[in-house]
Amino acid sequence: MSDLRFPVYLDYAATTPLDHRVAAVMREWLGEGAGFGNPASDHAWGRAAAAAVEHAREQVAALIGAEPREIVWTSGATEADNLAIQGAVRFHAPEGGHVVTARTEHRAVLDTCRALEREGFRVTYLVPDRGSVIPAEQVRRALAPDTVLVSLMHVNNETGAVQEIAAIGEVCREAGVRLHVDAAQSAGKLPLDVRRLAVDYLSLSAHKVYGPKGAGALYVRQRPRAGLAPLIHGGGHERGMRSGTLATHQIVGMGEAFRIAAREMERDRHHSEALMRRLREGLGRIEAVTVNAEGAERVPWILSCTFPGVGGGSLLAELSQRVAVASGAACSSATREPSYVLRALGLTDHEAESSLRYSLGRFSRRADVETAVAETARVVARLRALSPLWEEREHASRVQ
Amino acid sequence: MHPGYNDRIWQHFEKPVNVGGLDPAVGRVGTGYAGDAAHGELVRMQVRVNRAGAVETTRFKAQGPVALIACGSLAAQQLVAGHGPEPDAAWLGETLALAPADRGAALLVEDAWREALAEARGRAGEVCDVTGTEHPGTGE
């Protein structure tokens, strides 16, 4: 859809457009042709759909170095997070009931942990430093004799900070504790090889990588066996780990999206790096702007900035007329609370409210970045000219 | 136009009137603040009144949500109009059709201009209503 009334899109961390090549593959499995069979049916229609599903499973597994049978289809990363955390904790309940995670995790992880706490499980929420990274040593110190699971994300969706999951995996493996990693923001964008990482469960999303919404997967390690109790019971699909008729068209879309990502990851990365340099340089010219998680290793397609002297959502309200970015007000605009992720990094409510997240992707253009820089600078300057606090700050700096 | 706000709010937010400051040393100027600077939400209303206490000039500045800036602008416009109702929170809320969540912004703006007006009129030494109509002094 190219509608001139729509603003420039720089919100790829929220979702990405469907790649036209993915849409073409999905279309083959929609309509009245051979694609409508139930993959669980034992006849030609079913077998055709099942073959397509298994092909997609190979494509998804290949991207992360997994075996196809280690991939369980889900409705998305949120379900994968739920399945991993609840499924692991329930499966390993005889060994203990303690989970370690971080305050900067996605709500799909945090809310699942809260639900487990209400059932009597114990959860430790690690607080990262302002760089938004949890060092492996911090994880080690949080482990208790009854810890059964550590759940930490690979790339933070708000700041783009990259966790050291290799080192954290080693700590977990040594202690005999399973590790779940939410890789919704990194799979298909950063190299990920579960053969080299001590990761037991890995959540994957299709729509963050130019695939369809409503499709995701959970990697569940076979050797050593991670163990998983199902959440959804039914026909015993997905080897009993997730029942429900498979959505063939969604799954083939995810497979194709992951196949393309494996091939084009480097190109996508270079594309984002070039645009990010320009974005950082442009936004960096705005007085007093700060980059969140500045000290951490960050991916080159997410940038979270705080703009003093503006606030309360007015920056995003005006900017979003021309540029679609995300506010520092949580991942869901349904709540007007300041971002808990930015607050966990030590930002005040006010700083979190005057923060924006810019995220780039495969179809971002140089002109989009130029528009974002120019519009941000214009709106920040206009709102600062209205601000009595900024006036005082300017006055104080002149006096000094 | 903005999908999240009605035209009146958006117009005052996008093109606010009477933005700026008044020099407290020139004439009978009063200044009022409301909000919480530590939380980045603050409105400043300033008025200059004549000898009779009638509002001659208003200026405002605000940092915060869209509704705060819109209310500050509308109040600054109404105070200097010299006729019609005073821009209290109820009038601001009704005129801008504020959503319940935004009503707090109208209260802040009302607090700020009342403080500003009281200070300015204290300097004028007169007792008047907002439109500048003089009332007989109570002699106190």
| pLDDT tens figures, A124-160 | 999 987 667 899 999 999 999 999 999 999 999 999 9
CA distance B127 to B124: 9
Residue A393 pLDDT greater than 50, yes or no = yes
Interface residue B104 vs chain A (CB under 8 A)? no
Whole-number pLDDT of residue A329: 56
- Catalytic residue, chosen from A113, A172, A305, A331, is A331
| CA dihedral sign of residues B32, B34, B37, B40 | negative
To the query of whether residue A331 is one of the catalytic residues in this protein, the response is yes
ipTM, two decimals: 0.88
Structure tokens at B12: 């005052």
Residue A335 predicted with pLDDT over 70: no
Q: Where are the domains of chain B?
A: 7-127
Q: Output the CA–CA distances (angstroms, integers) from residue A71 to A59, A147, A230, B40, in the order listed.
A: 10, 25, 14, 47
B chain contacts of residue A349, beta-carbon cutoff 8 Å: 39
Query: By three-state DSSP, how is residue A319 classified?
Result: helix
Give the tens place of pLDDT for each residue, B59-109.
999 999 999 999 999 999 999 987 789 999 999 999 999 999 999 999 999
Report the sign of the C-alpha dihedral through residues A40, A42, A46, A48, in that order.
Answer: positive
Residue A311 is nearest to which of B16, B19, B40, comparing CB atoms? Answer: B40
B31 contact A CB<8A: no
Interchain CB distance below 8 Å, B40 and A317: no
Buried b (16+ CB within 10 A) or exposed e, A37-66: bebeeeeeeeebbbebbbebbebbbebbeb
User: Which residue pairs, CB below 8 angstroms and at least 24 apart, start in A139-143?
Assistant: A139/A100, A139/A168, A139/A171, A139/A172, A140/A171, A140/A175, A142/A100, A143/A100, A143/A171, A143/A172, A143/A175, A143/A177
Spatial CA neighbour of B91 closest among B75, B104, B76, B102: B75
Q: Which residue of B has its CA nearest to A390?
A: B63
Q: Which fold has domain B7-127?
A: Sufe protein. Chain: A (3.90.1010)
Kindly state the average pLDDT of the residues A42-63: 97
Neighbours of A382 (CB within 10 A): 16
Where does residue A357 rank: exposed (0-12), middle (13-18), buried (19+ CB within 10 A)?
A: buried
- pLDDT of A187 > 90? The answer is yes
pLDDT 10s digits, B31-71: 999 999 888 899 999 999 999 999 999 999 999 999 999 99
pTM value is 0.92
Task: Report whether pLDDT(B140) > 50.
Answer: no
Cα nearest neighbour of B33 on chain A: A388
Kindly identify which residue of chain A lies nearest to residue B15, measuring between CA atoms: A382
Q: Is A159 exposed, middle or buried (0-12, 13-18, 19+ CB in 10 A)?
A: buried
